[in-house]
Amino acid sequence: MICGTAYAQIKNVGITFEFENGEVIIENSQEYYAFDIMAYATEDGSFFGSGMIYLNYNTTSFGQNVSSEDNIIVEKGELIQGEFAGTPLYYFVNITDNTSSCVAITTGYVFPTLPGEANLLPSTPIQYLHIKLKIIDISGYSGLSFNEFHMQGQQYQSDDTTIYTPVIATDTDNTDLPVNQPEFKPTLFGILQSIPNPFGAFSPHTSLTIISPQTGKLSLNVFNIKGQLVNTIYNDDVQKNQDIQLSWNGKDSRGNDLSSGIYLYQLLVNNELFETKKVVIIR
pLDDT tens-digit map of 207-250: 988 888 888 999 999 999 888 999 999 999 998 888 899 999 99
- Sheet architecture: strand order including 243-248: 190-195, 206-211, 243-248
Residue 188 has pLDDT above 80, yes or no: no
Report yes or no: 32 and 25 within 8 Å, Cβ to Cβ: yes
Percent of the chain with pLDDT over 70: 92
Residue 3 has pLDDT above 60, yes or no: no
Which domains, and CATH codes, for the chain? Answer: 15-180 (2.60.40.680), 190-281 (2.60.40.4070)
For the full predicted model, state whether its pTM sits above 0.75.
no
Return the pLDDT at 139: 80
- Per-residue pLDDT, averaged over 90-118, amounts to 96
Nearest to 143 by CA among 176, 167, 170: 176
- Per-residue pLDDT, averaged over 92-115, amounts to 96
Return the pLDDT at 4: 47
Report yes or no: 263 and 223 within 8 Å, Cβ to Cβ: yes
Q: Which amino acid is at 270?
A: N
DSSP 8-state class, residue 76: E
Return the pLDDT at 106: 98
pLDDT tens-digit map of 39-75: 999 999 999 999 999 999 999 999 999 999 999 999 9
Return the half-sphere exposure (C-beta side, CA atoms, 13 A cut-off) of residue 250.
24
Residue 9 has pLDDT above 80, yes or no: no
- Per-residue pLDDT, averaged over 192-205, amounts to 84
Return the pLDDT at 191: 79
B/e letters for 163-183, b = 16+ CB within 10 Å, e = fewer, are bbeebbbebebebebeebbee
Helix, strand, coil percentages, rounded to 5, for the chain:
5, 50, 40
Return the pLDDT at 10: 57
Residue 183 has pLDDT above 50, yes or no: no
Residue 118 has pLDDT above 90, yes or no: yes
- Per-residue pLDDT, averaged over 178-190, amounts to 49
